[in-house]
Amino acid sequence: MPVRPSLEHVFDLRVDVGEPVRVGRSASEDLNVTPILGGTVVGPRLRGTVLPIGADWWVTRGATTQLDARYVLRADDGAAIDVVNRGYWHADADLERRLRAGEPGAEDELYYRTAFVFQTGAEAHRWLTEAQFVGYARPEPCRVVIAVHRVA
Distances (CA, A) of 88 to 49, 128, 132: 24, 22, 17
Asked if 40 and 73 count as a contact pair (C-beta separation under 8 A), the reply is no
Q: Say yes or no to pLDDT of 14 above 90.
A: yes
Residue ranges of the domains in the chain?
7-146
Q: For 15-68, what is each residue's pLDDT tens digit?
A: 999 999 999 878 888 999 999 999 999 999 999 999 999 999 999 988 899 999
CATH for the 7-146 domain, from 3.40.1080.10, 3.40.50.300, 3.30.750.24, 2.40.160.20: 2.40.160.20
Q: For 110-130, what is each residue's pLDDT tens digit?
A: 899 999 999 999 999 999 999
Distances (CA, A) of 135 to 21, 29, 50, 148: 24, 24, 16, 4
- Average pLDDT, integer, range 142-147: 95
Global confidence as pTM = 0.91
Q: Say yes or no to pLDDT of 101 above 90.
A: no
Q: What is the pLDDT of residue 20?
A: 94
